[in-house]
Structure 1
Amino acid sequence: MPDAEKAFARARQLIAEHYVDAAIDPGTLYTGAVEGMLARLGPPTTYPINELMAPRELAELLHGTGGTIVGVGVMIEQVAGVLVIREVIAGGPAAAAGLQRGDRILEIDGVKIKGKPMVEIVDQIRGPAGTAIDVFVQRDTDEWHEKLVRQTVAIQNVESKLIGDKVGYLRLRGFAETTPAEFDAAVAALQTQGAEALVLDLRACPGGVLDAAIKVTGSLLRDGQVIVTTTGRDEPGKTAAAKGDGRWKDLPLAALIGPETASGAEILADALATHKRATLIGAPTFGKGTIESIHELGNGWAIKLSTGRFVGAGGEPLPGRGVKPHLPVPLVADAPLDPVDAVPSEADAALAVAKTWLEDQAK
């Protein structure tokens, strides 16, 4: 639009003078304008990359990148308007109370929640550490009230399990500041159980803290091997490489990837493929390629803004093309993964291929 800045001011004036509802809040219009500006940055994507964040969303993001949340320790979803516990976080209040995956929460503090927006439900469950919440729970035909005291709960970003006599399975949910230590502890535990090879599941990993992704990747590579090169608008490229002994560099490895594998998870997958460190199995990754940073606006709100790009270990940018698997296996986008205690399932074709491939290499 020609003279867009003047046209914006004119549109704002026309709305103020002629819009049928004289009581419209100017703050609502300016909020929408900021959202519109951010939506215009870069090509359209399935998921928002540059976005406006309300104080609650900002606090949740900061807690997540730190590896903790304040709540009762459940991951939830809505099924036909009913709130269902998808996962219980080990060490949290819900786990201590004996709540289980599949339990239904019908009321919170005496208020029915069926059909309520998820954001409202999350706000009801979250709260200051040390405060109590009463949930009315249904499991099969049993119903009861459970009083839970909110506390700081460590987010489990790495899950693991032995899925064969000598094959360990690791699922990465995201990269927080605590993820490298979680990853090392999980691999060490699998080795103690007898694992001599690993399947690394990145299919539902959206990325996270860049430094954490680099540390995890470095633990699987040899000293000096390139991991990623990052650039800013007016900054020269900065290359990150593996440092130290690469404590897991000799373990045979297969990695599962798919359309939900993004950002830091793509950096990891690309580096493993470039250095012939792992066989990639599944479908092409998301193809994000940008680095975001948080900029506060001075009123409790903030914007998440792309301030850099990254180039994979092979020297090629990842946006649009993503990382391609060595062994393609069709995957359905947004398909939920099985809980770790149900892994491996007969329906998980990609994991079956990875397990078979690793077992064949050991013969």
Structure 2
Amino acid sequence: MYKLRKTIFILGILLPMSLLAQLNSRNDNNVKELDANKTTRKISTLLYYINNYYVDTLDMSGVVETAIVQTLKELDPHSAYISAEDVERADEPLKGSFEGVGITFQLYKDTILVVSPIPGGPSDKVGIMAGDKILKVDGEIAYGEDITNKWVMEHLRGDKGTKVDVSIFRHGNIDLLDFEITRDKIPINSMDAAFMLDDNTGYIKLNRFSKTSLQEVNDALLELKSQGLKNLVFDLRSNSGGYLGTAMSISDEFLPEDKLIVYTEGIHTPRQELVATSAGEFEDGKLIVLINEGSASASEIVSGAIQDWDRGVIIGRRSFGKGLVQRPLQLPDKSVVRLTIARYYTPSGRCIQKPYDGGNEEYYSDFKHRMEHGELIHPDSINFPDSLKYATNNGRTVYGGGGIMPDIFVPLDSVRYNKLYSQFIRKGIFNSYVNDYLDKNRVDLMNTYSDFEEYNDSFSLSDDDFNNFLEVAKNKDIDIEDPELTPNVDFIKLQIKSLMARNLYETSDYFETLFPMDKEIKTALEVINDNKRYNNLILKK
């Protein structure tokens, strides 16, 4: 899908083990020979002494794991240890699948509530429906205080082809309904939504860069083209990254042949460049990329390449600032160390990794510091030194050293996302109200609105229903004050409507319902529909 200079093939920010031999072409001149007496022999001798002479009996494997974790913390914020039993689960979101029964669920009042069966999955095939409550699993009680997410995973996940019996309560039925489900491979979609914002502009939201993301994006682009796609809003807000290879492949969809997408380099890893190929589903047409403080790693590779080549306009707030590449290295017990081996650089030469010399706690408090300094509200609060100044292909000034700074800054809406709204989220008021509402009204809603389009066009939350929502909040000891509530009433109502759409229809419908009040999308459409403004943003010298 893409060319590589120096004939080196890189597949991920989490580089796969199959490339071990190729990547061993490191610069051995920079490898310092270990003094065994001061390093390896010293550690093994210490472990021998602890195991044989310490006053109490110890779990020595646990001692070693703790030592590994603490050692990696001293290196950088992204080198990490994964125990052997956690390796497979840690990779699931990026591999794009797992094996199980195929439901989206949440624990609601100590009960497993089916939010939706995955279309075409094992549960869908046997007739399990959204709103069902699982009360027994293989004859074992599946409700009460002891039921946790971990319990559900352990009982419903399993190898493909194995069977599990569930007993379900369904509204309108007196007796429990029994189902036998044969587990299968379940896809984990990395694309949250794809739809048309207007007659010419499409929208794609990606939540991670997984093994399946390129195919998902390509399929979405083809579908949107059939609906008249000429311009695209590509939403990477709060996308924390994933496979480097996927980020490069998706960048290739937008960039012309031979354009450098990214290069990596480390003291033990020679410079490796990856460039775009002749393939590409959307190399023409206006392109907007949305980012925010949660957009990291692979998201920053894509947005950095788009910005450096002036291919599109970046809108939102400064991204996270992760410019380090990890490689998984297997230890003898099958556990894995994800070790940082290189930094990545955008086409203009920027390394957007933010500083981490203040330690991990300081590093991960960055969002708090941005809030305190007013950066999320005022772009003038961000100061980049001239030493980090770079230029795009058209000569526009951009900066390295701390994330991707957007071409158009959209502040965090502190009025909309105020203390009251945060309490609604934190205390689960939205989910609690929506689940109760749909438990009582799901059948009537589905009979009234035959599909999402009809629901989106016609349904609105009544004032009485909104007052009921506020009563749910008050019963959770939330003080509701008019100055915080009044400016937000329409948005809160739309949020409730969007959550209902997600539960009644598809995940994508949540975003399609909500987008009319999304300020970043609104800004993107304004820019796209103003040719002069769009061109000035990417052509400015």
Bin for the TM-score computed over the shorter chain: 0.7 to 0.9
Choose the corresponding residue for 1:37, options 50, 61, 71.
71
Task: Give the letter aligned to residue 142 of structure 2.
Answer: K
Correspondences of 1:315-354 after superposition (within 5 Å): 315-320=349-354, 321-331=402-412, 339-344=507-512, 345=514, 346-354=516-524
TM-score by length of 2: 0.57
SS of 1:244's partner is coil
Partner of 1:147: 180
- Cα deviation, 1:148-190, whole Å, max 9, x if unaligned, reads 2211123322341223222211111222333222211110110
- RMSD of equivalent CA atoms: 3.5
Counting aligned pairs with the same residue, the percent is 24
Task: Give the letter aligned to residue 67 of structure 1.
Answer: G
Kept in 2: contact 1:228–1:271 (CA 8 A):
yes
Q: How far is the alpha carbon of 1:352 from its aligned partner? A: 2.5
Partner of 2:79: 50
- Cα deviation, 1:108-159, whole Å, max 9, x if unaligned, reads 4323354545344323322110112234556667775543221112332234
Q: How far is the alpha carbon of 1:195 from its aligned partner? A: 1.9
Answer yes or no: is 1:264 the counterpart of 2:432. no
Correspondences of 1:201-212 after superposition (within 5 Å): 201-212=235-246
The structure-2 alpha-carbon separation of the partners of 1:305 and 1:276, relative to structure 1 and needing over 3 Å to count, comes to same
Q: How far is the alpha carbon of 1:10 from its aligned partner? A: 9.1
The structure-2 alpha-carbon separation of the partners of 1:294 and 1:132, relative to structure 1 and needing over 3 Å to count, comes to same
Choose the corresponding residue for 1:96, options 108, 125, 135.
125
Q: How many residues align?
A: 352
Partner of 2:288: 254
Q: How far is the alpha carbon of 1:84 from its aligned partner? A: 5.0
Q: Which moved more, 1:221-230 or 1:160-169?
A: 160-169
Mapped to 2, the partners of 1:69 and 1:13 lie a distance apart of 40
Partner of 2:344: 310
Answer yes or no: is 1:220 the counterpart of 2:254. yes
SS of 2:154's partner is helix
Q: Which has the higher strand share?
A: 1
Choose the corresponding residue for 1:66, options 72, 95, 116.
95
Mapped to 2, the partners of 1:249 and 1:167 lie a distance apart of 15
Kept in 2: contact 1:284–1:324 (CA 8 A):
yes
The structure-2 alpha-carbon separation of the partners of 1:299 and 1:341, relative to structure 1 and needing over 3 Å to count, comes to same
Mapped to 1, the partners of 2:304 and 2:129 lie a distance apart of 37
Mapped to 2, the partners of 1:329 and 1:85 lie a distance apart of 36
Mapped to 2, the partners of 1:228 and 1:130 lie a distance apart of 42
Kept in 2: contact 1:91–1:153 (CA 8 A):
no
The structure-2 alpha-carbon separation of the partners of 1:55 and 1:233, relative to structure 1 and needing over 3 Å to count, comes to same
The structure-2 alpha-carbon separation of the partners of 1:58 and 1:13, relative to structure 1 and needing over 3 Å to count, comes to closer
Kept in 1: contact 2:269–2:341 (CA 8 A):
no
Mapped to 2, the partners of 1:87 and 1:226 lie a distance apart of 42
Answer yes or no: is 1:165 the counterpart of 2:199. yes
Return the index of the structure with the highest Cα Rg: 2
Q: How far is the alpha carbon of 1:88 from its aligned partner? A: 4.6
Q: How far is the alpha carbon of 1:28 from its aligned partner? A: 1.9
Mapped to 2, the partners of 1:330 and 1:86 lie a distance apart of 33
Q: Which moved more, 1:321-330 or 1:345-354?
A: 345-354
Mapped to 2, the partners of 1:285 and 1:105 lie a distance apart of 40
Task: Give the letter aligned to residue 221 of structure 2.
Answer: V
The structure-2 alpha-carbon separation of the partners of 1:241 and 1:352, relative to structure 1 and needing over 3 Å to count, comes to same
Choose the corresponding residue for 1:130, options 161, 164, 178.
161
Mapped to 2, the partners of 1:99 and 1:355 lie a distance apart of 40
Partner of 1:111: 141
SS of 1:215's partner is helix
Mapped to 2, the partners of 1:306 and 1:106 lie a distance apart of 45
- Which stretches in structure 1 are left out of the alignment for 5+ residues? 44-48
Kept in 2: contact 1:72–1:92 (CA 8 A):
yes
Partner of 1:46: none
- Which stretches in structure 2 are left out of the alignment for 5+ residues? 1-37, 355-401, 427-494, 500-506, 534-541
